[in-house]
Structure 1
Amino acid sequence: MSYRDLPLISDTDLATARRELGSALPRILGYYRQDGVTSIHAIENAMQARSATALVLPAHSLKGESRQLGAERVAELSQYLEMTARRCIEDRTELPDALAEDVRGLRSLFHETMTVLERTIGTGEAPPAARAPVAPSPPASIARPRPAGVAPQRPVFGRRAV
């Protein structure tokens, strides 16, 4: 079954998201828009560069986020892009030329989906970029004392002290 044969939005999945996220759903929808645009841009760049490796992660991310909100067609197309890229990596082959048509259609499909989701959900909150910044963490001198037996944190994630 092609992604084109699926409903644009899964009412069941959207109802689940509405129930689980409640009043946070409009804010999550704003994040989905931002992340989706970023993922689509990365997918388009990967296709232009003919890089299957660069295509996998943004397609995977877009697939997961789309499924959470019931964006069925976008999720299915993203999954197709991701799986095709993974197969190309495993087989050590180039991305097929025919994939470019699907990548070109992804942006308009995403915008169509966003229009329907925003109309259905509404956007009761300001987009994340318009909200006040989060207060920084307190300095280490004010931080809570470390419980006995807990190792100190490394200054930089993943790096060991020399």
Structure 2
Amino acid sequence: MDTIDSRDEELVDWKVHARTRTQLGPAFVRILGYLREDGDKSVERIEDAMHRKDATGLVLPAHTVKTEARQFGAEPLGALAEEIEFAARRAIEGHYFPDDLVPQVARLRPLYARTIELLERDANPLCQRTPARAAGA
């Protein structure tokens, strides 16, 4: 998709993102690459844990996605990962499998993919930034 619509803009808090970009400086692109690598693996692990009905296997990858997404201002992705993580933790404590997480896990991969696409597009030096995003607003 070549254009960013208003729904996409809601996927990233560009103020948080700009702050992270400033704080990381030259390391920003490399750290964003780690988010991509870790995220790809974590989403796959979450899906695999759901198929295996392994609540314990959901916790760490969901925690990883949550933490890294929020670092870059991707709050909706972070919130969804947090929901999965906390439900898995409750299930472990209650000795059951959280089958009710199927819809959340099904939404995770497309939300992750679109969020990463937006973050990487913004990191591209050839990207046309809107004045609000370029100023970090």
**Global fold match (TM > 0.5):** yes
1:16 aligns with 2:19: yes
Query: For the residues of structure 1 that align with 2:115 and 2:32, how far apart are their CA atoms?
Result: 11
Is 1:43–1:103's contact at 8 Å kept on the other side of the alignment? yes
- Normalised by the size of structure 1, how large is the TM-score? 0.69
Is 1:43–1:55's contact at 8 Å kept on the other side of the alignment? yes
Residue correspondence of structure 1 range 1-162 to structure 2 within 5 A: 7-96=10-99, 98-122=100-124
Q: CA deviation at 1:68?
A: 0.8
Q: CA deviation at 1:106?
A: 0.8
Query: For the residues of structure 2 that align with 1:117 and 1:93, how far apart are their CA atoms?
Result: 36
RMSD value over aligned CA atoms? 1.9
Unaligned 5+ residue runs, structure 2?
Answer: 1-6, 127-137
Q: CA deviation at 1:23?
A: 1.9
Counterpart in the other structure of 2:4: none
Greater than 3 Å deviation, 4+ residue runs: none
Is 1:66–1:75's contact at 8 Å kept on the other side of the alignment? yes
For the residue of structure 2 that corresponds to 1:40, the secondary structure is helix
For the residue of structure 1 that corresponds to 2:10, the secondary structure is coil
Query: For the residues of structure 1 that align with 2:125 and 2:62, how far apart are their CA atoms?
Result: 25
Query: For the residues of structure 2 that align with 1:67 and 1:115, how far apart are their CA atoms?
Result: 16
**Pair member with larger Rg:** 1
Give the number of equivalent residue pairs. Answer: 119
Unaligned 5+ residue runs, structure 1?
Answer: 125-162
- Normalised by the size of structure 2, how large is the TM-score? 0.81
Query: For the residues of structure 1 that align with 2:85 and 2:125, how far apart are their CA atoms?
Result: 30
Is 1:26–1:123's contact at 8 Å kept on the other side of the alignment? no
